[in-house]
Structure 1
Amino acid sequence: MILGIITDCTHYTSPSGEVCTENHILLRQFKHLSAYFEKTIILCPFGKFDDRKVTTTYTSSNIQFHQLPLVGGNAMKDKVQLLVTVPKWLRAFKMLHRQCDVVYQRFPNNLNIPGFIYFWLQRKKVFATYTGTWSGYQGEAASYRLQRWILRSPFRGPVWVYDEKGKEQGRIRNGFSPSYSVAEWEEETAQVEKRKQRIENGLTTYKFLTVGTIIDYKNQLAIVQACHVLKQKGFSFQLTIVGDGPMKAELEEYVIKNGLQEEVKLVGKQNHVSLRQLYREHDFVVQAPLKEGFGKVPIEGFFHGVIPVINNISMASQMIGANERGFLFDASKPNHLVETLLSLPAQQHLFAGMINKGRTYAKLQTLEAWAREYYETVSAYYNEA
């Protein structure tokens, strides 16, 4: 069969003519899913490549691309450009309908609203993922609520969502978003054993890692503010912040203003290989998002034997498993993160067990398991329909 994929993830053409993206994880997911198909055609926007981007290149020979203009924004000219682009979208949908046996639509994104209408009218075989917060949140865009309704009601195929309640209802399935393969899980075994030995000998400095776009709702500032208090209390720690974004300058200013340059390092975007090394060098991932679909970072931490300390929203409690695999805090409560981090030394005897349980949990959430579930579910759904 031939698979079509519609995504709003921006791709680029490198100077050497190769297609690449900054979304390393999505690339790996597409690679594993496409292995089940004769050919995969990815319909997505293309932006302008520059050397500042940290990209990963597609190498799968059975993946092809159909380029769309990169549009969006709130200015009037952006809205006009969006209207001009709609006919190009429709021509692209027609091409996918003609060439592909089944279409995979990744929501939420505005491209897939007309995409849904087109393929619904054509009675196309489709399936989807909703990567946002399935239960919704205060201040959510109306278009997100519309897209959740589309997937719950008129959408015809299987839909994977990130539901903290873990309920599956008919076509709606509880999903996950994998980053690593089984082989990579195995590769980490030796270093995880060394990590546990080091932890059992006692930690003198607590090494924290946080990963994500530096933006208000990712809430990295709250983590740095907590670290300021930790330093005042004489707690020995290091924090590495991975990512870039509109709030990076504000974070850097806070670090300098409060004399945290020795403890807090902002290292910018990292490619897949560099990020794996950073996980190996740290003992805890600290994530404080105010909204989240599926938090990949805690799962990535599990693979490497890193213990998560995460804000208790969305699927966090399900991931941590009644505090079996890590620690939860409430970012809405002042000083709760500080209190949670200060409590870590007293709970050091639990760390090795948490690492083991996290690794066991992570092995269920590999790229191979994800791609196999999608392919088998979609195949069975349309064979039975």
Structure 2
Amino acid sequence: MKFTIITHAEHKLKQDYIYAYEPYVKEMNLWLKFVDEVEIVAPVSTKEISKIDTRYKCHSERSEGSVTKKAEMLNQVKHDGMVVALPCNDEIKCHSECNEESVNRNIRCKSINLNKIPSFNITSTKNSLNALFKIPSILWEIYKAMQGADHIHLRCPGNIGLLGCLVQVLFPSKPKTVKYAGNWDPKSKQPLSYKFQKWIVSNTFLSKNCKVLVYGNWPNQSKNIIPFFTASYSEKEIEEVEIKTLRHCGSNCHSVLDTESLESEQQISNRVGNDEFGRHSVLNTVSLGSDDEMLKQVQHDESERYTQLDKTARHPRLDLGSHELEQKKQISNRVGNDEKKNLDKSVTERSRSEIYGTLNPIKFLFVGGFTKGKQPLLSVKVVHELFKKSYKVTLEMYGDGLEKNYVENYIKEHNLEKIIKLHGNQPKGIVKEAYQQAHFLVFISKSEGWPKVVAEAMFWGCVPISSNVSCVSSMLGDGERGSIVNPAIEEIVEEITSYFKSPTVYQQKAKKAMDWSRTYTLEKFEREIGKLLKSFP
């Protein structure tokens, strides 16, 4: 089968191999396991290979007949703007031809042809005029590629995908699949070009013998629309993970200790010797847990500090030793209500500071492009707000984009360099470790298809805090496996702090999220792709 891919994804060439954005290539490598020859019609970039790029791989297949002849394994050929690359099996590195070992293993290499076309956009008048000159030649290249294809595969939405949608109408008898990686929600606000692509591919008269893979199960769809999914991790990567706890994660102990183990207000008051004063002291503010020896010591030390305060005109001695405590009214008369508040605040901050230095932080994560649509600055502001409320928090951010400067400026302006770190684009392994260590993913995107970062976070028990776009609500089980929030800082902060008060709920959701995500593996994805391709006559 000759499999022709029409995509807007930028491709790169290096040492006879073809590279592109890793999540896209990783998926396409699964499709290529079921075909013999591939032609890719896509723009080609001269930029350097980045950390988030990976190459197409030649997957091995057992030949049903005799051993594949070496003569069938051609060297790389370049002609008429076409690059023909024949990379060998993953484990066998070669560029010009497959080596003897691959022949002995009955491995048949597949050719991957890259047909270069220019990219274009219509974001300005100048770009629109340039596009008018490029589009005719692009349409011609797409037509020629489809003419020689056994199966046509369109990647939408995108400018090149839009042109592909138009040309495929001319090939009604050829099998076609469309992977619509955007938001298929009929009620969502989308660009006119996206809506047009959705209309064409879902019209069974214009798009004959075509199956459209979409994210989410939506009502009132045409018969060629198939709910689908994607995956990031293999079954081999599944490992036992201890569900993270929030017991020792914050500077305010009342926010992170199991509420079932907290001491009552009366117990705290008895320990300092006065019910009324205890309600207003730092000991009540911090709400120490009876089952934590370290926190007990802090509580004891705070009581001792009161006995050591010097008598001054503004801050008279508060004797917590053997003498009886003064009543609240007497304290107010001696130092004044404002002075007492300042005193309590001063002692409280000392207590928080001491605990802050000994407890583990609540770890937040952002993974994605630094674009307006992903709203990375909103995640920063949420963590900043928690920090202002004296919670011990950190935020690790992975990704790059035009919004990065705004994020950097905000961090510097508010002196958040110690708690918010920008890592840029990083390989999958590094991001995987970040998922494993984080408590929450804060990802408030404006538009998504199947947000892989949400599913990846869930895979490692990292609870997602996300916006209600596309199929996210379904992924999170309507709140059973994470939280759906509006893009409002106050609402997001309130939702997060609700977990601190109920850490058991946090652990339950983390476990459910992990169990659900681990059912969508690369192996399952590959099986479903195979079934889909075999379903065509």
Q: Please confirm whether the aligned pair reaches a TM-score higher than 0.5, indicating the same fold.
A: yes
The aligned counterpart of 2:121 is: 72
The SS at the match of 2:373 is: helix
Shift of 1:211: 0.9
RMSD: 2.3
Unaligned runs of 5+ in 1: none
Letter of the aligned partner of 2:226 in structure 1?
R
Higher relative contact order (CA 8 A, sep 6+): 1
Which runs of at least 4 in structure 1 moved beyond 6 Å after TM superposition? none
Answer with 262-271 or 155-164: which moved more: 155-164
Identity %: 25
Q: 1:268 to 1:136 in 2, by over 3 A?
A: farther
Match of 2:56 among 35, 55, 58: 58
Aligned to 1:29: 27
**1:363 counterpart = 2:518:** yes
Q: What does 1:285-300 correspond to in 2, within 5 Å?
A: 285-300=441-456
* Separation (CA, whole Å) in 2 of partners of 1:378 and 1:58: 20
Partner of 1:129 in structure 2?
179
Q: Which has the larger radius of gyration?
A: 2
Are 1:151 and 2:201 an aligned pair? Answer: yes
Q: Is contact 2:364-2:438 (8 Å) kept?
A: yes
Alignment counterpart, residue 378 of structure 2, candidates 222, 226, 230: 222
Please say which of residues 68-77 and 355-364 is displaced more in the overlay. Answer: 68-77
How far is the alpha carbon of 1:263 from its aligned partner?
0.9
Q: 1:166 to 1:268 in 2, by over 3 A?
A: farther
Can you list the C-alpha shifts for 1:87-133, whole angstroms capped at 9, x where unaligned? Answer: 43234223323432111111111223332232221222211021111
Range 294-303 or range 343-352, more displaced: 343-352
Q: Which moved more, 1:366-375 or 1:203-212?
A: 366-375
2:191 paired with 1:173: no
Distance in 2 between residues matched to 1:334 and 1:263, nearest whole Å: 18
Cα distance change on mapping 1:334 and 1:262 into 2, 3 Å? closer
Q: Which residue of 2 aligns with 1:338?
A: 493
**Residue 115 of structure 1 aligns with which residue?**
164
C-alpha distance in structure 2 between counterparts of 1:70 and 1:93, whole Å: 13
CA distance in 1, matches of 2:489, 2:220: 32
The SS at the match of 1:353 is helix
- 1:45 corresponds to 2:43: yes
Q: Distance in 2 between matches of 1:321 and 1:139?
A: 23
Deviation at 1:352, TM superposition (A): 3.5
Counterpart mapping for 1:1-385 below 5 A: 1-14=1-14, 16-21=15-20, 23-50=21-48, 54-60=52-58, 61=87, 62=110, 63-123=112-172, 124-136=174-186, 140-153=190-203, 154-156=206-208, 157-163=210-216, 165=218, 169-184=222-237, 186=238, 189-190=239-240, 192-193=241-242, 196=243, 199=245, 202-203=248-249, 204-331=360-487, 333-380=488-535, 382-383=536-537
Deviation per residue, 1:265-295 (Å, 9 max, x gap): 1111112222222222322211111222221
In terms of mean alpha carbon deviation, does 369-378 or 161-170 score higher? Answer: 161-170
What secondary structure, in the 3-state scheme, does the structure 2 residue paired with 1:335 have? helix
Deviation of 1:47 (Å): 1.0
Give secondary structure in 2 for the equivalent of 1:127.
Answer: strand
* CA positional deviation for 1:251: 0.7
User: Alpha carbons of 1:117 and 1:51: their partners in 2 closer, same or farther (altered >3 Å)?
Assistant: closer
Shift of 1:9: 0.8
State the alpha-carbon separation in 2 of the partners of residues 106 and 260 from structure 1: 40
> Compared with structure 1, are the counterparts of its residues 71 and 18 closer, same or farther at alpha carbon in structure 2 (3 Å cutoff)?
same
- Contact residue 440 and residue 463 of structure 2 kept, 8 A: yes
Q: CA deviation at 1:51?
A: 6.1
Q: How many residues are matched?
A: 372
Structure 1 CA distance for aligned equivalents of residues 365 and 503 of structure 2: 18
In structure 2, do the counterparts of structure 1 residues 25 and 18 end up closer, same or farther at CA, with 3 Å as the change threshold? same
In the superposition, relative to structure 1, how do residues 364 and 330 fare at CA in structure 2: closer, same or farther (>3 Å)?
same
Equivalents in 2 of 1:4, 1:295: separation in Å? Answer: 26
Provide the TM-score with structure 2 as the length reference: 0.65
Find the counterpart in structure 1 of residue 84 from structure 2.
none
Q: TM-score, normalised by structure 1?
A: 0.89
- The secondary structure found in structure 1 opposite 2:46 is coil
Once residues 43 and 371 of structure 1 are traced to their aligned partners in structure 2, the CA distance between those partners, rounded to angstroms, is: 23
Change (3 A) 1:168 1:348: farther
CA distance, structure 2, for counterparts of residue 237 and residue 39 of structure 1: 51
Query: Which stretch shifts more, 97-106 or 112-121?
Result: 112-121
* Secondary structure in 1 matching 2:166: helix
The Cα offsets for residues 226-285 of structure 1, whole Å up to 9 and x where unpaired, read as 112111110111101111111111111111111211111111111222222222232221
313-322 vs 344-353, which deviates more?
344-353
